[in-house]
């Protein structure tokens, strides 16, 4: 397998908030003159939380000694995409509103980016996976049977409380119903990856996000895991449904958050999750968020077309249309690695791309359009056209490029063909080094260039 690196185009000058950059440089210099710098440490200010790719060097979940073949990691991660896309499609296609955690539903290992948070009083450090397509947060708790990593200990928190089965939140996660006499805590079971499952209690405790505290944050405390491998991290649901972080923090964050995902190659906690309207880019292009009442947690946008270089790719409008009844359309997701288009759309993009780049073309992992890297000078940019917003992908977001000099690949793929999916998913690799603002309050999504490697 080839060892690849992302293609870097130095002329792509990021849109940045220079005042903030100046301030953080100032502090970085100040700190570096007084203390030895821990390259894996991260600063955070106000409501910013640092974000790191899960398999990067400074991540506690990086078990491999870094062999430098991060692209193999990307390819391995991307090999889980078809299951993730199937899962998202199964959510999107549901005819009835589904619970934020529906028992019997498949939830997949989508651990791509993690944030550091603290839970309880005093705060206990935990790592949680960012997931924009789920609502509920869950965390492995102490005493958990089958959990493998750091757990949260409710006993040592003075602000911990469980939720009674009669509370409306319990109904929302489809907890087991209350016994006919008396009451009990809210238990729920979640099936996982087909053959595995976990059981959890719905609880609440203080949630520390950088310098902010959310008192009484409701989340699932995992008590036992059976079968397979439920991911060792907690999961932070950033969807837009009723149990998500956004919905539980409206008074604090007004339904707004953004993230900048660093490259998978990035070692450090250099990405950020910003919660609330303060500190978001002031001028940013936006596109409306579309609401699918059948699946309230997903972030749909109106993708109206695609260009390869100057060529507008011919795609039948029906293939791009948003349809809440079938789940068709395009979502932005933080848990899929490479962008997946339904087969006819992907084929049209790929064919146009191949027309403009010299072959021959070969395949590598999920990528079916790899070519001699010497041709990168003529590689066309790819533009996603949304209502009110054109996103021209920086080349590092559309190509995976060989440092050993031989190969570059178009870093996108077709949706799995065996599920007849009608959903397009804009994924991590295409979101690197962009500030993506989810403004649920005003029902819009903003995108600006920002270097956060």
Ligand X SMILES: *[C@@H]1O[C@H](CO)[C@@H](O)[C@H](O)[C@H]1NC(C)=O
Residue 22 or 166 having the CB closest to ligand X:
166
Residue 46 or 387 having the CB closest to ligand X:
387
Residues 449, 261 contacting (CB under 8 angstroms): no
What whole-number distance in Å separates Cα of residue 266 and Cα of residue 17?
A: 20
Q: Is 215 a binder of ligand X (CB under 6 A)?
A: yes
Q: Contact letters (x/-) for ligand X, 342-361, by CB under 6 A?
A: --------------------
> Among residue numbers 375 through 394, which ones bind ligand X (CB under 6 A)?
387
Q: Contact letters (x/-) for ligand X, 165-184, by CB under 6 A?
A: -----------x--------
Among 50, 247, 263, 304, binds ligand X (CB under 6 A): 304
Q: Is 286 a binder of ligand X (CB under 6 A)?
A: no
339-341 and 412-414 beta bridge pairing: parallel
Residue 189 or 392 having the CB closest to ligand X:
189
Q: Is 302 a binder of ligand X (CB under 6 A)?
A: yes
Q: Is 248 a binder of ligand X (CB under 6 A)?
A: no
Active site residue 205: no
Among 6, 133, 199, 244, binds ligand X (CB under 6 A): 199
What whole-number distance in Å separates Cα of residue 393 and Cα of residue 9?
A: 11
What whole-number distance in Å separates Cα of residue 59 and Cα of residue 114?
A: 8
Q: Is 290 a binder of ligand X (CB under 6 A)?
A: yes
Least separation in angstroms between CB 199 and ligand X: 4
The encoded tokens of residue 191 equal 């099936």
Catalytic residue of the set 48, 135, 333, 439:
333
Residue 233 or 248 having the CB closest to ligand X:
248
Q: Is 153 a binder of ligand X (CB under 6 A)?
A: no
The encoded tokens of residue 175 equal 């907890």
What is the total count of residues that contact ligand X (CB under 6 A)? 11
The encoded tokens of residue 364 equal 């590598």
Among 64, 216, 347, 420, binds ligand X (CB under 6 A): 216
Residues 376, 399 contacting (CB under 8 angstroms): yes
Residues 445, 299 contacting (CB under 8 angstroms): yes
Taking CB atoms within 8 Å and a gap of at least 24, the contacts of 160-169 are: 160/120, 160/203, 160/204, 160/205, 161/203, 161/204, 161/205, 161/216, 162/186, 162/201, 162/202, 162/203, 162/204, 163/201, 163/202, 163/203, 163/204, 163/218, 167/202, 169/202, 169/218, 169/243
Least separation in angstroms between CB 93 and ligand X: 17
Q: How many CA atoms lie within 13 A of 40 on its CB side?
A: 8
Catalytic residue of the set 48, 81, 131, 205:
131
Least separation in angstroms between CB 291 and ligand X: 10
Q: Is 325 a binder of ligand X (CB under 6 A)?
A: no
CA dihedral sign, ordered 430, 305, 420, 359: negative
Active site residue 333: yes
Among 98, 105, 185, 189, binds ligand X (CB under 6 A): 189
Residues 264, 396 contacting (CB under 8 angstroms): no
Catalytic residues: 131, 333
Please give the residue ranges that form the binding site for ligand X (CB under 6 A).
Answer: 161, 176, 189, 199, 215-216, 290, 302, 304, 322, 387
């Amino acid at each position: 397998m080839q060892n690849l690196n992302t293609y870097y185009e130095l002329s792509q000058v990021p849109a940045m908030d220079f005042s903030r950059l100046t301030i953080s440089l100032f502090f970085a210099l100040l700190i570096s003159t007084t203390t030895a710098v821990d390259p894996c440490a991260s600063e955070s200010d106000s409501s910013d939380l640092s974000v790191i790719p899960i398999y990067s060097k400074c991540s506690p979940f990086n078990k491999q000694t870094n062999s430098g073949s991060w692209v193999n990691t990307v390819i391995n991660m991307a090999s889980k995409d078809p299951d993730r896309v199937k899962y998202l499609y199964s959510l999107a296609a549901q005819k009835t509103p589904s619970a934020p955690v529906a028992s019997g539903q498949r939830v997949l290992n989508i651990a791509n980016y993690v944030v550091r948070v603290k839970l309880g009083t005093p705060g206990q450090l935990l790592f949680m996976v960012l997931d924009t397509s789920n609502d509920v947060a869950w965390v492995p708790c102490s005493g958990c049977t089958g959990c493998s990593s750091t757990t949260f200990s409710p006993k040592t928190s003075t602000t911990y409380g469980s939720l009674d089965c009669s509370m409306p939140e319990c109904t929302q996660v489809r907890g087991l119903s209350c016994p006919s006499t008396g009451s009990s805590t809210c238990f729920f079971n979640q099936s996982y990856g087909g053959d595995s499952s976990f059981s959890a209690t719905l609880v609440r405790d203080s949630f520390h996000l950088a310098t902010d505290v959310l008192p009484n944050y409701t989340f699932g405390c995992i008590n036992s895991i059976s079968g397979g491998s439920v991911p060792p991290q907690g999961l932070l649901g950033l969807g837009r449904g009723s149990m998500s972080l956004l919905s539980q923090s409206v008074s604090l964050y007004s339904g707004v958050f953004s993230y900048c995902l660093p490259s998978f190659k990035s070692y450090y906690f250099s990405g950020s999750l910003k919660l609330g309207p303060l500190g978001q880019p002031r001028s940013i292009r936006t596109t409306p968020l579309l609401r699918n009442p059948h699946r309230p947690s997903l972030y749909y946008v109106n993708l109206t077309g695609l260009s390869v270089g100057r060529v507008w790719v011919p795609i039948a409008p029906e293939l791009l249309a948003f349809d809440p009844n079938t789940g068709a359309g395009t979502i932005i997701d933080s848990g899929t690695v490479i962008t997946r288009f339904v087969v006819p759309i992907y084929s049209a993009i790929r064919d146009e791309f191949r027309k403009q780049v010299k072959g021959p073309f070969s395949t590598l992992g999920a990528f079916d359009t790899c070519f001699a890297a010497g041709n990168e000078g003529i590689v066309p940019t790819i533009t996603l056209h949304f209502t009110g917003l054109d996103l021209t992908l920086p080349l590092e977001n559309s190509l995976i490029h060989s440092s050993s000099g031989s190969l570059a690949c178009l870093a996108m793929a077709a949706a799995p063909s065996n599920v007849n999916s009608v959903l397009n998913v804009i994924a991590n690799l295409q979101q690197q080094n962009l500030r993506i603002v989810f403004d649920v309050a005003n029902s819009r999504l903003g995108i600006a260039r920002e270097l956060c490697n």
